[in-house]
């Protein structure tokens, strides 16, 4: 039986933070150690252009995200790791899918609807500032997924709708042109932690409350010290279950260490002491990867080589499938 295919994309805007690490990077890298599935992980740099029109930032973020995945130990022998823009078949398939995607379906996409709602709120034209990139974002995402006939697509809740749209578009293409695409399924893992940020809300770039993944030790310590706590004094029992410090601890600790910290909270550990221990724990897990990360950033050629190898591997899947799709729609040599 052929392996189940798992595929997910990472938009290349911003610098990876602890929330990305715990929620996406670490589990994906663990999964890359097993060969029971065939995994495709890619840098969605075409998608980045929808949100970010600063070329320097797109470029820098692509480099940082690629370096992060490699530094954290992604096993590129077991997975296909590539950059979306290195696969010319993706935008080409995107066009074929555009011609099968109902406009009405795109009208219902959350990201577009949110933009329209914000414009209406502000008394603007409903489509003010809405690019075709934003509007047809789900079609590009469908091309990403269908290009590799992914069975499962691990995503956050906000992306479920997009995977369903990919299914819809695939079904329509299959119905019209014959069976070419697997119908993908979104997989949302409730077990992976959604980390809280410095202010206790979900750690997210848009809230400006993140702890970047590969800060130097001093900076990491500084950020951890900024985590919001309450005013309870040393010796006063503290509630672990409402504490960001404890939640972060749990994301990095063994079960035993978690139980011990729970007890320490009950015993009234000082916030300063809990944060000091948290720094040591997080630093310990990230230390080696941080060193590799800094080395990789200093030699982008090594990263680029990995990505080129990944692209070559990816295209052994995308080229034959696109060939079939072209032929199916009537685009083929005349003789
Ligand atoms: N849109 C996704 C996000 O913002 C990233 C992405 C692009 C993606 N293409 C994909 C995720 C294909 C899964 C499959 O998170």
CA–centroid distance, 145 to ligand 1, in Å, is 9
pTM of the entire structure? 0.93
155 CB less than 6 Å from ligand 1?
yes
Ligand 1 atom closest to residue 141's alpha carbon, by position in its atom list: 9
What single DSSP character describes residue 79? E
Confirm if 42 and 84 have CB atoms less than 8 A apart: yes
- The predicted pLDDT at position 33 comes to 84
With a cut of 50, which residues of the chain have pLDDT below it? none
- The predicted pLDDT at position 169 comes to 98
Q: Where do runs of H (alpha helix) occur along the chain?
A: 18-20, 26-32, 45-51, 55-71, 89-98, 103-107, 110-121, 132-135, 137-146, 160-177, 217-225, 244-252, 255-266, 271-298, 300-329
What single DSSP character describes residue 113? H
- CA-nearest residue for atom 5, ligand 1, is 9
Ligand 1 atom closest to residue 84's alpha carbon, by position in its atom list: 9
Structural domain spans, the chain: 4-101+136-193+299-329, 214-295
CA–centroid distance, 44 to ligand 1, in Å, is 7
Structure tokens at 306: 């990995």
- The predicted pLDDT at position 1 comes to 64
145 CB less than 6 Å from ligand 1?
yes
What CATH architecture applies to the domain 4-101+136-193+299-329?
3-Layer(aba) Sandwich (3.40)
- The predicted pLDDT at position 284 comes to 97
Q: Which of 5, 6, 11 to mutate to test the pocket of ligand 1 (most atoms within 8 A of CB)?
A: 11
The C-alpha angle 288, 284, 155, rounded to 5 degrees, equals 80
Structure tokens at 307: 């990505």
186 CB less than 6 Å from ligand 1?
no
Q: Which CATH number fits domain 214-295: 1.50.10.20, 1.10.3720.10, 1.10.240.10, 3.40.50.11540?
A: 1.10.240.10
CA–centroid distance, 9 to ligand 1, in Å, is 4
- The predicted pLDDT at position 83 comes to 98
């Amino acid at each position: 039986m052929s392996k189940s295919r798992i595929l997910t994309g990472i938009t290349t805007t911003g610098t990876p933070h602890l929330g990305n690490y715990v929620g996406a990077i670490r589990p994906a890298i663990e999964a890359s150690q097993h060969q029971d599935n065939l995994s495709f992980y890619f840098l969605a740099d075409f998608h980045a252009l929808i949100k970010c029109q600063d070329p320097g930032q797109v470029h820098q973020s692509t480099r940082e995200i690629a370096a992060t995945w490699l530094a954290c130990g992604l096993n590129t022998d077991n997975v296909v790791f590539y950059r979306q823009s290195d696969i010319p078949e993706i935008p080409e398939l995107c066009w074929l899918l555009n011609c099968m995607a109902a406009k009405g379906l795109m009208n219902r996409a959350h990201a577009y609807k949110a933009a329209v709602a914000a414009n209406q709120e502000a008394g603007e034209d409903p489509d003010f500032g809405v690019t075709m990139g934003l509007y047809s974002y789900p079609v590009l995402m469908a091309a990403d997924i269908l290009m590799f006939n992914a069975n499962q697509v691990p995503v956050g809740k906000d992306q479920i709708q997009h995977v369903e749209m990919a299914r819809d578009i695939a079904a329509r293409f299959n119905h019209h042109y014959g069976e070419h695409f697997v119908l993908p399924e979104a997989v949302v893992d409730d077990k992976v932690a959604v980390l809280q940020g410095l202010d206790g809300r979900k750690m997210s770039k848009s809230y400006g409350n993140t702890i970047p993944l590969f800060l130097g030790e001093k900076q990491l310590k500084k950020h951890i010290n900024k985590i919001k706590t309450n005013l309870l004094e040393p010796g006063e029992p503290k509630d672990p279950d409402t504490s960001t410090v404890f939640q972060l601890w749990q994301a990095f600790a063994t079960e035993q260490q978690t139980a011990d910290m729970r007890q320490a909270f009950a015993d009234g550990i000082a916030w300063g002491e809990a944060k000091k221990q948290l720094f040591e724990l997080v630093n310990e897990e990230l230390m080696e990867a941080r060193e590799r990360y800094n080395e990789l950033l200093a030699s982008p050629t090594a990263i680029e080589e990995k990505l080129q190898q990944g692209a070559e591997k990816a295209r052994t899947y995308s080229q034959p499938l696109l060939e079939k799709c072209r032929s199916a729609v009537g685009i083929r040599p005349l003789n």
